């Protein structure tokens, strides 16, 4: 297939692009910087200069492609409208990347939430996250407009990306703060838990989904879960630092911003990727974020 992707220079998009190329697909990738465009060309990705707000460009690229994968921004409703316009009545796939923070709670790092979501569990979405859920629902409903709309909802992704951006978000953020301060800090007591998944297994799932996911499918992606206390302790061991420090969410908000303190690091986000295993035959190979941090994570 000749695929058009957004987020081609990013952690997820770059790794997925290289997996698609290795499987024999052609990839055109949206890029907003000409220096990065040259780097994409060197990787075998055809660069398309522009951004998510370039409506006509997105419509044209979607129309020319055999399918589209959006991996730039889970919340950009306008880009999804442009891509839907370009794909309307084509039967082609539109894969959209969401994120499991959409079911995050308000634990402030102080409690474990027993709620574990799989694809059959009605989602409980905080009003602040409803706009993200609305974008997901728009893609899931695109079957009515003749598009094979599919939403992929990764949990915390770890591992080293194979594209232009080798680092993910959550674990590298804690590592960078620890590098600055000499101590690993986590929100609350860190008992809150997140599911996680290795980037190589994420790329594999995107490949399977673009080839065979049915219209309207929603997939969580995870292969294990950990508390932030355990993740923090593993980072501290890897970096040869002292014990983890516990930071009340309100204090973390002052340093890291409210979004990170209350949503990214203070929440529980526990999901089970049942459908991808059952329906796509997805068989992840990596199962421990803690082992990756302690044995492989570059520091
Ligand atoms: N990493 C995770 O753990 C994780 C987990 C769950 C869900 N997700 C979701 O997956 C998506 C990708 O995440 P990531 O970790 O790969 O992020 P990333 O490394 O920051 O990559 C984001 C990509 O999107 C591009 N981009 C952003 N805004 C754009 C715009 N307005 N126009 C054109 N391109 C734009 C960036 O281009 P530039 O190079 O120009 O900046 C970059 O290629 C996000 O929606 C994220 O919420 C990520």
Residue 143 has a pLDDT of 98
Chain Cα centroid distance, residue 144: 26
Residue 165 CA, ligand 1 centroid: distance in Å: 10
The boundaries of every CATH 3.40.50.720 domain in the chain are: 2-162+196-223+269-284
Angle between helices 34-43 and 11-22 (to 10 degrees): 30
Percent of the chain with pLDDT over 70: 100
C-beta of 99 in contact with ligand 1 (< 6 A): yes
pLDDT digits (tens, 9 = 90+) for 90-146: 999 999 999 999 999 999 999 999 999 999 999 889 898 999 999 999 999 999 999
Hey, which of 17, 33, 34, 73 would you mutate to test ligand 1's pocket, going by the most ligand atoms within 8 Å of its Cβ?
73
Residue 202 has pLDDT above 90, yes or no: yes
Single out the residue of 103, 100, 143 nearest to residue 126, CA to CA.
103
Fold type of domain 2-162+196-223+269-284: Rossmann fold (3.40.50)
pLDDT digits (tens, 9 = 90+) for 241-293: 999 999 999 999 999 999 999 999 999 999 999 999 999 999 999 999 999 99
Residue 30 CA, ligand 1 centroid: distance in Å: 12
Residue 209 has a pLDDT of 98
Residues near 49 by Cβ (< 8 Å), separated by ≥ 6?
31, 32, 34, 37
Percent of the chain with pLDDT over 90: 98
C-beta of 196 in contact with ligand 1 (< 6 A): no
**Coil vs helix vs strand at 282:** coil
pLDDT, average across residues 53-61: 98
Q: How many residues in the chain?
A: 299
C-beta of 179 in contact with ligand 1 (< 6 A): no
**Coil vs helix vs strand at 76:** coil
C-beta of 154 in contact with ligand 1 (< 6 A): yes
Single out the residue of 145, 19, 170, 24 nearest to residue 87, CA to CA.
145
pLDDT, average across residues 25-40: 98
Residue 108 has a pLDDT of 97
Residue 124 has a pLDDT of 82
Mean pLDDT taken over the chain: 97
Residue 50 has pLDDT above 90, yes or no: yes
Task: Give the number of other Cβ atoms within 10 Å of residue 45's Cβ.
Answer: 26
pLDDT, average across residues 206-224: 98
Residue 12 has pLDDT above 90, yes or no: yes
pLDDT digits (tens, 9 = 90+) for 155-188: 999 999 999 999 999 999 999 999 999 999 999 9
Distance CA 221, CA 208 (A): 13
C-beta of 163 in contact with ligand 1 (< 6 A): no
């Amino acid at each position: 297939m000749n695929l058009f992707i957004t987020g081609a220079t990013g952690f997820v998009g770059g790794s997925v692009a290289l997996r698609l190329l290795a499987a024999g697909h052609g990839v055109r990738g949206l890029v907003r910087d000409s220096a990065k465009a040259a780097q994409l060309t060197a990787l075998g990705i055809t660069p398309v200069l522009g951004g998510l707000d370039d409506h006509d460009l997105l419509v044209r690229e979607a129309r020319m492609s055999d399918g589209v994968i959006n991996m730039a921004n889970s919340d950009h409703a306008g880009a999804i409208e442009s891509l839907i316009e370009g794909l309307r009545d084509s039967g082609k796939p539109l894969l959209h990347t969401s994120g499991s923070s959409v079911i995050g709670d308000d634990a402030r790092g102080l409690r474990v939430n027993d709620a574990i979501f799989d694809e059959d569990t009605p989602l409980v979405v905080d009003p602040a996250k409803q706009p993200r859920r609305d974008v997901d629902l728009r893609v899931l409903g695109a079957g009515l407009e003749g598009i094979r709309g599919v939403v992929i909802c990764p949990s915390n992704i770890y591992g080293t990306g194979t594209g232009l951006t080798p680092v993910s978000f959550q674990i590298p953020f804690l590592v960078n703060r620890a590098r600055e301060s000499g101590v690993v800090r986590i929100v609350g007591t860190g008992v809150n838990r997140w599911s996680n998944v290795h980037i190589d297994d994420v790329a594999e799932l995107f490949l399977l989904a673009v080839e065979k996911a049915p219209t309207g499918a929603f997939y969580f992606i995870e292969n294990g879960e950990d508390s932030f206390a355990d993740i923090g302790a593993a980072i501290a061991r890897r970096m040869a630092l002292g014990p983890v420090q516990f930071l009340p969410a309100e204090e973390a908000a002052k340093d890291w911003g409210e979004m990170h303190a209350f949503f990214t690091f203070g929440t529980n986000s526990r999901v089970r990727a049942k459908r991808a295993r059952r329906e796509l035959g997805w068989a992840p190979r990596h199962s421990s974020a803690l082992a990756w941090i302690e044995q492989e994570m570059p520091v």
